[in-house]
Every structure is written in C-alpha cells, then in structure tokens.
Structure 1
C-alpha cells in the first residue's frame, strides 16, 4: 500500500530539448501535483542550474546533443557540480544499443526510462523513488544506486549506503535544507572513505600482479602497463582524498608513483626488492586509511 505524501514542495529540474514535449511534460506533471518545476532546453543550461540551485529531482533527456548529459550525472554523483550528490536523477533516452545501455546504467542515475514513455510512467517512477529508493554503492569508477538486483556469484559484496533523499523528505513535509545538507555531509564522508578503499585495494591488487610467477611476463598485461595503471590509480586516489589530515598518506602515495614510474621505464626486469617495497607501500596505504584521522564524522555533523 502506498504511503501518503505530497509532491507540491518538490523542486524539480526538467531538461528537455523539444519545447513541445517540455511544455506537455510540465503541464501534465503539474496536474499530478508537482508545482516547483524549473525547465530548460539544453544540457548546458541544465549544468548551470544544477550548480546554482538545490533540486530534489532531476529529469534529463539523455540525448541532448549540446553537452555530455551522462557526464553531468557523473559530476553530480562525484560532488563536483551541486550541493547534493544524492539528488534523485531520472534519465529519458531513445532505445539504446548495448554500448549505450551500459553507459546509461553506469552514469549513476536512479532510473532510465526508454521512449516512448507516458507521463503516468514518469509519475509512477517518481513515486517509487519516494517510497523505496535503492541504496548507493561505491566502486573505483562508480557512485550511485545499486545496479544489481541479486548478488553476483564469486564477487566481493560491496557495502550499501543509505543516503539522504530530499525528494522523500520534502514529499513527507520535511523541508529543512540545512538539516538535509548536514545529513548529506555525513553520508558523503562514508562515500569518500569507501571510494578510497576501492582505489587502495586496486593499487594493492595491481602491485601483486606486477611480478609474474617464475618470471613469466603476462602478454596481455605487460609489467610496464600494470605499473602505469598503478601510477594513474594512485594519482586518482590523491585527487580524491585531497583533504585527509595525514601527511604520511600523501608521502606513501608519492613513493608508490615514483616506484611505478621506475618499473614502467625499466628496460630489464626490475629489482625484486623494488617490487617488494612497492607492495609494502600499498599495504601501508590500507593501514593509514583505517586510522581515525579523516574518518567518518558523527551523524548530523558537518564534515570538517
């Protein structure tokens, strides 16, 4: 049985390039109770509005051609565009080919609706997000709602994060933005830590593969390629964890990058001691991340 809620306080961004479709959607959604609709006709304008205003629901045409709509969604999820990386996002797309389908799923939207769609279908999806939104997961390349319906056999189960939803809050009359953004800040610290953990795990895994057993080179993944992969993952880690209050963390990252570059440029097999030191540095990163500094703040408190 559906819970009782109202859409009148919801702040929605509608990005649709066709003015007739945009007007029709806006009018129909208004009849369903959505009053706070800000609409625009381009991806660039959608990008600008997301940086300027706080939205509870974002509905974008994924096929807008003036900018990368999927890139905009990723910027939202990585907290690089708007105040709330957890805002609810729905993409509307033309029937995709398999490659485009993967890109749509991996962008981080809460839902992808394939044309032709009805306003009723969009309204039902909005209601579903209010009532039972999926938890978020974090990998080294993805932040967004859990994409799997069932656990995948033989894989590590990634922790799920219950993120704050202003869409749900405002639908049930909880309209305090300051309180919501404090909850966002606390949840974001968990996301940051989990992303760092995923990147550090990748560095350690690559470090173990860089010296093949019995000196046998991996033809598909040569040592120099693995070394540069370590370098770039470590660089991504440093950029991601740019405010950790631990100088040793950055020192170890710098050492790993230096060793990875040395291995990459080596003409002959690298010194096993160098590889062992690189692997030890990767292990040290795991230890440093588990220390209290830079960890998750108490719920309801803003991150420092």
Structure 2
C-alpha cells in the first residue's frame, strides 16, 4: 500500500502524442489528488516547461523515430536557465529496447515506465522517487542520477542530493523560501561543476589528440577531437556567472579556444606546428587550474591521463572485435561458396 502522501500541492506534466495514453496517466494522477496536471501532445508544445513553471514531475513518452524526447530531457537537465533542472522525470515507452534504455540513462531520466501501465505501477514509481531517488552527478555533458557502478580512477565527481520538490511537497516539507534557497544552492553547485568538468574534458580531448597531431599528416580522429574542444569551451564560457571574479578563467578559456581553432585549421591544410600543440597542452592545464584552484593540478592531470588510457584501450578493443567479426564473416562466406579464405585472412582455431 502506498504511504499516506499529500499530493495536493504537486504539479505534473504529461508529454505524449497518444491522447488516450496521456489520459490514462492523467486519470491516475487525478485520483492521487495532484494539484495541477498539464497535458502536451509533443515535446515542442511542452518547450515552455524549460523556461517557466517547471513542474515537480514530468512523464515524457520516448516512442517515435526522432530524438525530441531525449533532447528535451538533456535540455531540462543541462541548460543553465531552467527553473528546476532537478524535476523528477519518468520516461514512458511501449518498446523498451536496450538502445532506448541506454538513451534514458545517458540523458538524465530518473526512471523508465513500460506501457501499458496499471495505477499501482505509476504509484509505486512515484513513491520510489519520493523515498529512494538517486543522487545526481554533474559532468561536462551530463547532469542526472548517479548510475556509476564505480567511479573512474582518479575522477573526483561529487554526488549532489538534488532538490526534490516532489518529495518536499508530498511529505509536507515545502516552503517557497526554503525551496528557492535549495534550488539556488544546487544550481550554483551544478554551474561550478560544469565549469570544472568542462575543463577536464577539454584537457582530455587535447591529450588524446597530441600523438595524432604530431604526424606529418595529422590523424583524422585526433583532428576530430580538437574540433570538439570549442563546444565545451562555449559551454564553460556561458556558465561564467556575474557572481565571483571569473576574468582569469574567461581569458584562459578564450585563449585556448583561439589556439584550438588555429590548430584545427593547420591540420586541415597539413602538418601542425609542434610548438602550437605543446602550447595547447600547457594552456588546457592552466584552464583546469583556473576553474578548480583548490585541487592540485597533478591530481587533475592524472585523472585526464587515466581517462585517455582507458579510452584508447576501449578503441583498440572495438577495433579488434570489428576485425575479428569481419574475418569470421569472410571465412563463413568463403566456406559457403566452397572457396578458400582470402590470402592473409586469419583462420579460427579449432575448439579441440
């Protein structure tokens, strides 16, 4: 039986293109005595939730061929001006594929609810969000529930007890002034962490690219990684708030952006200047130190190096798996055609 919560102050939004399904969810919430329940037939129609009147809980349908639902979730969690980026968020679907589950996890949704649903299922999920919601983590491109099985070596990503207005209202702990203070503090934490994690990500991209940039013809993957630096710098720069002195961070960030763009142009034409590549590595470390002056630079550098090493290992494993699959397919095709495998193709070892 569901605990005796009071939902008379709780606001909800339901985003679903199928009106009948939306009405089912609405009827359940009406019986639970929610104060206000808004229905939207598309993510576009619900765009106003990102700028004003963010409800305490949102149910958003993720079916369909496009990715609008996941863009909405990521915007809710990551855009700097959303009134309540910590709103509880349940994704709903008729087709719970592994790919969809991964997208829910990576976008920042709290839970996945499979249709058709019973009133008890909806009530149980809401009760879980009230009593057992996961803490949030903040990275350069993710804000949402902490789903890490174990933190990456050297990573320092604190867990935030995100303000849960659903819980505060349902358990009688709501006060306008108190919640405003909680949201301001949490948003300040997220803003600071976004700057720090963006600088770590920028350093990761630069360090990964270094070996490839040193070749006479720069490696394509290295050039792509340098090209991604600008986007993270833009996000970092827009999170430099009026509170605090961020002049030094801004100056370093703009210098890094200018140099990264110059290196990218050099790579498009041919060789990259070794001096510029070395300067980029020096400057991204200066950016890390500027955004997080309380943490030793050596610790941040070790974190970046560990992340690059792990990423290279995963790329190598993927390449090996792809090559093995291609060889296996070629061998199978040759066997089916009654011809020997191509010269140089590996032959699978027998089990015996």
TM-score scaled by structure 2? 0.72
Which residue does the alignment assign to 2:208?
A: 209
After TM superposition, give the deviation of residue 214 of structure 1 in Å: 11
Distance 1:220 1:116 in 2: 49
Is the 2:13–2:39 Cα contact (8 Å) retained in structure 1? yes
Q: How does 1:209-248 map to 2 (within 5 A)?
A: 209-212=208-211, 215=214, 221-241=220-240, 243=242, 245-248=245-248
1:94 is aligned to 2:84? no
Q: How does 1:119-268 map to 2 (within 5 A)?
A: 119-148=119-148, 150-151=149-150, 156=155, 158-212=157-211, 215=214, 221-241=220-240, 243=242, 245-266=245-266, 267-268=269-270
Report the secondary structure of 2:45's partner residue. Answer: helix
Which residue does the alignment assign to 1:272?
A: 274
1:287 is aligned to 2:289? yes
Distance 2:246 2:81 in 1: 26
Unpaired segments ≥5 residues, structure 2: 295-352
TM-score scaled by structure 1? 0.83
Number of matched pairs: 291
After TM superposition, give the deviation of residue 263 of structure 1 in Å: 1.8
Larger RCO: 1 or 2 (CA < 8 Å, sep 6+) = 1
Distance 2:197 2:89 in 1: 24
Unpaired segments ≥5 residues, structure 1: 293-304
Q: How does 1:98-113 map to 2 (within 5 A)?
A: 98-113=98-113
Q: Which has the larger radius of gyration?
A: 2
Report the secondary structure of 1:173's partner residue. Answer: coil
Distance 1:246 1:152 in 2: 29
Report the secondary structure of 1:175's partner residue. Answer: coil
More helix by share: 2
**Superposition RMSD in Å:** 3.0
